[in-house]
Each structure stands twice: as C-alpha cells, then as structure tokens.
Amino acid sequence: VQVTRAYNFNAGPSALPLEVLEKAQQEFLDFRGTGMSVMELSHRSKEYEEVHNQAKASLKELLSIPDHYQILFLQGGASLQFSMIPMNFLKSEQKAGYVLTGSWSEKAFKEAEVFGNPYEAASTKDDHYRRIPLQNELQYNADDAYLHLTSNNTIYGTEWKDFPAVDVPLIGDMSSDILSRPIDISKFALIYAGAQKNLGPSGVTVVIIRDDLIEKANNDIPTMLKYSTHAKNNSLYNTPPTFGIYMLGEVLNWVKGIGGITEIARRNEEKAKLLYDAIDESNGFYIGHAEKDSRSLMNVTFRVKDEVLEKKFLAEAKQAGFVGVNGHRSVGGCRASIYNAVPYEACRAFRDFMKQFQQVNG
C-alpha cells in the first residue's frame, strides 16, 4: 500500500524514518519467529535482551562512546533528568553552574534549585536567546559539582557548535540534537536526551554517563532515581520501555545503513542550508531568530516581517500540508524542525513554499 507521508516538521515527537516504521510494521505481530509482538516479550527473555544490548552497542558505535561510559535507557523524559542530575550530584554547600540559553535550560536550573545551589554560569536571555554564549562569557568555579548546558535550544533555534573544554564535569542536555553530528563525548561527564526527536518514539530517555560520576553520586535518594541502580542492572532493574528501545535500535540501524553519523551530519547541513538560504535571500521578508553563528541545524526559527502576513503564512503552510510549523507556544513565530528523519525533499518543498509565498505577498 502506498502511504502518503506528511511533511512533518513537528518539534517532538517528530518524524521517524519511513523504513523503520515499515520494518516495525512487518515485525509487529510476530517478532522474529517468536509468535509474539516485541511488546509481548518478557524483558528477561533472550530475544528482548538481544534487542536491548544491540541498541546499546549501536549507540556506542555511532557516537564513538568510550568504554568508561555507561549507556542507560531510562523513563521520565529529559524533564526527569532535570531533577535526577542535581539529586545525584549536588552535595550540600556545593554549587553547580547552569548556562541559560533558552526555556529548557531555565527549567533545568529551576529543578536544581529544589536540591541545592545552582547559579547562572552565563545567560543570553538579555539577547532574547538569539545566541550561544562565547567561551569567555562562561563563569564557573573549579570546585563546582558540574556545569550544565543545553546543546540545542529547540524553542529558540540555537545550537552550540563547539563545546567548551572545562575542568568540572560537563553535563549536556542533547535532547534535540543528539545523533545529528559527530561530537566529542569525552568532553562530557553526562549527556542526556529524550528519544522522541532524533532517536525514536517518546518514552525512552538515553543517558550516557562516565563511570566516575556514577560512583561519586549521592546515596540518600530513592533507588529508581539513582544512576547507579540502572548502571548496575544494564537498565533492567525494572521493566524498561521495551517497544521504545526496540524502535530506538531500529532507528540506529537505519542511521548505520545510510552511512553513519558523518552522512547524517552532511544531510543535516544540506537540509538546514535550504531553509536558512531562503531566509537570507528574502531581503527581510523572513527574519531569522538566531544569530548566524548560533543557528541550529535542527530547529529553524524565523518570523515573517509583519504579524498579519505571518498568520497568513502559517495558515497557508498548514493548508499546503506542512505540519508543525508554528513556533513554540511560548514564543510564537515559525519553526521548522528538521531532525534526522525529515527527508531532504520535505525541506526543499518547504523552501519552495517560502519562496512562493514571498513572491505572492512580498
């Protein structure tokens, strides 16, 4: 059956590769000869264990994760990580720096206030979060528990290009750009990401954590909220989100199949360029939110030059079949989220739509 796929620019959950959905569909009722759906397998069965360990191995391979890091599959979304991080790593009297680059870093900061003493290590709030701070704007203390940053700001459409080399444990919320480009994992002590943008369906949270950090964590917290519980048990302390982990594994296989992280990064650059060029060539008809050297390859945020036209643009985009182009409810404007699984053709179609809309209304 030929299905018509939407031009899906949703910010999350977002597009999944068609090939992955088709494979999941094929295997849905009878998972590899078991006579059961993958969802019906015991999480203690050898068939499920293979899915679980394969997903971990693929992530390790694709992101070149060194041996002294653990890969964990948790639940609760990136939002629970906002709490788990300070719970595990903030000790009384100790501080932690937070780089504020948008709403998600603000939320992470707020959760840390529940447990200890976070402070602003840098903030670009006064610039309406149009940019990532420069390395020399970062202020932190050598004896801090950690420094937290958000690698890609989903709502504002800004992204770190290079990560700072710091001498405190660096923690990164990579929910909206993990697996979009090669990164040097060794700069980080902990990386976390809700799966629902580049990695798979919602319901799985990936945590990549360095061994020494697990050992240093606080012990007087609930079992389920300790990283050590999940690290010791291969993320099988309790029932994991098995279907989500299966889908994650299949998304990773898809990335491997198309040429790995370098090819994904190349495609992402190419797709983003289409839309940013349309903005830059519009003579101010479209106004990009992010400063050029902070532009996100995942979330392209912009406004149309006046509000009436912007409303019209969004209405016509919707009618033309472009899904999810409205900016986040907190900031308005327009946003095209072009994660790994969004095809080049969808971006080209949207670019053409932008050009045409300008021609008619400019």
Mask: binding to ligand PLP, 123-162, rule CB under 6 A, as x and -?
Answer: ---------------------------x---x--------
- Closer CB to ligand PLP, residue 31 or residue 86? 86
Task: Give the dihedral sign, CA 339/343/345/349.
Answer: negative
Instruction: Establish whether 238 is an annotated binding residue.
Output: yes
Region from 30-38, 54-62, 77-85, 230-238 binding ligand PLP, contact rule CB under 6 A: 77-85
Region from 28-36, 57-65, 74-82, 240-248 binding ligand PLP, contact rule CB under 6 A: 74-82
Instruction: Establish whether 79 is an annotated binding residue.
Output: yes
The residues in 280-319 that bind ligand PLP, with binding defined as CB under 6 A, are: none
Instruction: Establish whether 173 is an annotated binding residue.
Output: yes
- Closer CB to ligand PLP, residue 152 or residue 358? 152
What is the smallest separation between the CB atom of 165 and ligand PLP, expressed in angstroms?
A: 22
Find out whether 288 and 302 touch, Cβ atoms under 8 Å.
Answer: yes
Instruction: Establish whether 231 is an annotated binding residue.
Output: no
Amino acid in the structure at residue 90:
L
Region from 73-81, 217-225, 314-322, 347-355 binding ligand PLP, contact rule CB under 6 A: 73-81
Find out whether 223 and 182 touch, Cβ atoms under 8 Å.
Answer: no
Contacting ligand PLP (CB under 6 A), which of 45, 79, 94, 234? 79
94 touches ligand PLP (CB under 6 A)? no
Instruction: Establish whether 154 is an annotated binding residue.
Output: yes
How far is residue 210's CA from residue 130's CA, in Å, rounded to a whole number? 31
The residues in 172-231 that bind ligand PLP, with binding defined as CB under 6 A, are: 173, 175-176, 194
The residues in 48-67 that bind ligand PLP, with binding defined as CB under 6 A, are: none
What is the smallest separation between the CB atom of 298 and ligand PLP, expressed in angstroms?
A: 9
Structure tokens at 170: 């660096």
Find out whether 172 and 147 touch, Cβ atoms under 8 Å.
Answer: no
Mask: binding to ligand PLP, 6-35, rule CB under 6 A, as x and -?
Answer: ------x-----------------------
Find out whether 244 and 258 touch, Cβ atoms under 8 Å.
Answer: no
- Closer CB to ligand PLP, residue 37 or residue 79? 79
What is the smallest separation between the CB atom of 81 and ligand PLP, expressed in angstroms?
A: 8
Instruction: Establish whether 196 is an annotated binding residue.
Output: yes
Q: How many chain residues touch ligand PLP (CB under 6 A)?
A: 11
78 touches ligand PLP (CB under 6 A)? yes
Region from 109-117, 171-179, 237-245, 262-270 binding ligand PLP, contact rule CB under 6 A: 171-179
Instruction: Establish whether 150 is an annotated binding residue.
Output: no
Amino acid in the structure at residue 333:
G
Active-site residues: which are they?
A: 104, 173, 197
Could you list the residues known to form a binding site, using ranges: 44, 78-79, 104, 154, 173, 196, 238-239
Binding site for L-glutamate, by residue number, is: 44
Binding site for ligand PLP (CB under 6 A): 12, 77-79, 104, 150, 154, 173, 175-176, 194
